[in-house]
Amino acid sequence: MNANSPAEALAKLQDVLDTLLGPEGCPWDKAQTPETLCDYIIEESFELVDCIRSGDAPGTAEELGDVMFLLLFVATLSRKREEFSLAEALDTAAAKMIRRHPHVFGDLKVADREELLRNWERIKRAEKDKDTGLYASLPKGLPSLLKAYRIHSKAARSGFTWETDAAMKAGLDAERGEFEAAVASGDADAMAEEFGDYLFTLTEYGRRLGLKANACLDVANNKFLTRYKAMERLARERGLSLDALDMAAKNALWEEVKKA
């Protein structure tokens, strides 16, 4: 393990970055702007999340470092543009967290988690212009399933959601019925719309149960991929072509993999 303190490690990374951007540095790095780095930040963030969710501690450490490097890169370029410094960004974050946690740094008392989240939302909105709406801070580029979760979460904090779990379940059943009716009609546009409504409502149902749809679907995706790769491996070991097998044979392999 590195014995350096976080401050020393950050200073070392800054030295590396300054060298890359210096007169004898890397032409690629010197050509970058905060705008050109955006896609790399997104890509590295996804890689970091993959490592965290898979329990890969060494990979998480590496990818966390990659994300930190890119964030420092943006901060350094922004300082050169005389827009802001890393210290200013960190000070702003610290002040924001203190302001949004009056139940920790102040004397506010909250009864439960729901009241805590509602208070958080009130403070966030008070920080913005009064004319901004509830969803003014919702990033446009969020993946759709994650965006649906955030939309419902914010709506719930403002009190705009089903009042009871039973009413929520009835709403979900109604959306499922509308989707099935659209399927029966054969209307492709109606099917797409109602399927979207059903997914949107299902996301809220999961949220109320403490489930994040995006994370749950990621687990399901990875489970399927792991099992399918195991099927391919079994087929190869047995000299079989998986593509050539009929459905019954594929299902037999699938069940064998599931049991394993």
Fold of the CATH domain 138-211:
Helix Hairpins (1.10.287)
Cα angle for residues 52, 218, 216 (degrees, 5° grid): 100
Q: What mean pLDDT, rounded, does the chain reach?
A: 92
Tell me what pLDDT residue 48 has.
Answer: 95
Tell me what pLDDT residue 130 has.
Answer: 59
Band of the pLDDT at 131, cuts 50, 70, 90?
A: low
C-beta atoms surrounding 89 within 10 Å = 15
pLDDT in tens, 1-15: 566 899 999 999 999
* Domain boundary assignment for the chain: 6-98, 102-134, 138-211, 216-259
pLDDT in tens, 68-91: 999 999 999 999 999 999 999 999
Tell me what pLDDT residue 140 has.
Answer: 86
Band of the pLDDT at 134, cuts 50, 70, 90?
A: confident
Tell me what pLDDT residue 192 has.
Answer: 96
State the number of CA atoms in the 13 A half-sphere of 252 facing the CB: 8
Give the residue-averaged pLDDT of 19-37: 96
For domain 6-98, is the CATH number 3.80.10.10? Answer: no
pLDDT in tens, 148-165: 999 999 999 888 999 999
pLDDT in tens, 95-124: 999 999 999 999 889 888 888 888 887 888
The two tokens of residue 174 are 């109604």
C-beta atoms surrounding 84 within 10 Å = 13
Distance of CA 214 to the CA centre of its chain: 7
Tell me what pLDDT residue 118 has.
Answer: 83
The two tokens of residue 79 are 């300082």
Domains 6-98 and 138-211 share a fold: yes
